[in-house]
Amino acid sequence: MSFYHTPKALSAFDAKFEAQKIAFGPISFQVAHCLLKFEVLASIDQAGEQGLSIAQLAQTSVLNEYALGVLLDMGLSMGLVWLNGDAYVLDKTGYFLLHDDMAAINLNFVQDVCYQGLFQLDKALVTGKPSGLAVFGDWQTIYPALKDLPAEAKASWFAFDHYYSDHAF
């Protein structure tokens, strides 16, 4: 599907589906983040085409079977994994989320730098001020705050900045 389309190019069914993806986008993002953070996708990837059941995943995970089931149910609907019997296998989108540098850098940047501040996006748009930056302190811009950011946010900021700067040159 093209990012740019004429109004008639997208069916009503597809448009409704896209609206639901937007509505659940923050949940999808957090599920993907957790599947990476708790190394669920990495474990499934290492198992190859045979995949792993929830019970097998629970043997080496800090998460119990219920938590894994919740994450993997959403992972199925997001196309990160697929089921082969009762075994979860990494799907193409999950593969790129796990192995693509740009996906990892973008995900970490959004999680560690942007996510909490985005709750203030409406206020920032109305006032013209970086209201969301308050999650890190009282700053007019992010640049003076860089040295004082929490370690994860600082690492994610610099990884993002260097990735895109390096690729620009």
Please state the rounded mean pLDDT for residues 84-97: 97
pLDDT on residue 158:
96
Q: Could you report the per-residue pLDDT of 34-66, keeping only the tens digit for each?
A: 999 999 999 999 999 999 999 999 999 999 999
CA dist., res. 24 & res. 6, Å (int): 25
β-pairing, 81-84 with 87-90?
antiparallel
Which letter does DSSP use for residue 116 in this model? T
Asked if the model's pLDDT at residue 5 lies above 60, the reply is no
Structure tokens at 149: 């950011």
The sign one gets for the Cα dihedral 132, 135, 137, 143 is negative
CB contact at 8 A, 90 and 80 = yes
Q: Could you report the per-residue pLDDT of 94-138, keeping only the tens digit for each?
A: 999 999 999 999 999 999 999 999 999 999 999 999 999 999 999
What confidence tier does 9 reach under pLDDT thresholds 50, 70, 90? confident
What confidence tier does 166 reach under pLDDT thresholds 50, 70, 90? confident
Please state the rounded mean pLDDT for residues 65-71: 98
Residues 6 or more apart in contact with residue 103 via CB below 8 angstroms: 96, 97
Angle (deg, nearest 10), helices 25-37 and 101-109: 110
pLDDT on residue 10:
84
Asked if the model's pLDDT at residue 91 lies above 60, the reply is yes
What confidence tier does 4 reach under pLDDT thresholds 50, 70, 90? low
Q: Could you report the per-residue pLDDT of 22-38, keeping only the tens digit for each?
A: 999 999 999 999 999 99
Which of 107, 22, 89 has the alpha carbon at shortest distance from 51?
Answer: 89
CB contact at 8 A, 32 and 107 = yes
Backbone angles phi, psi at 38, to 5 degrees: -90, 10
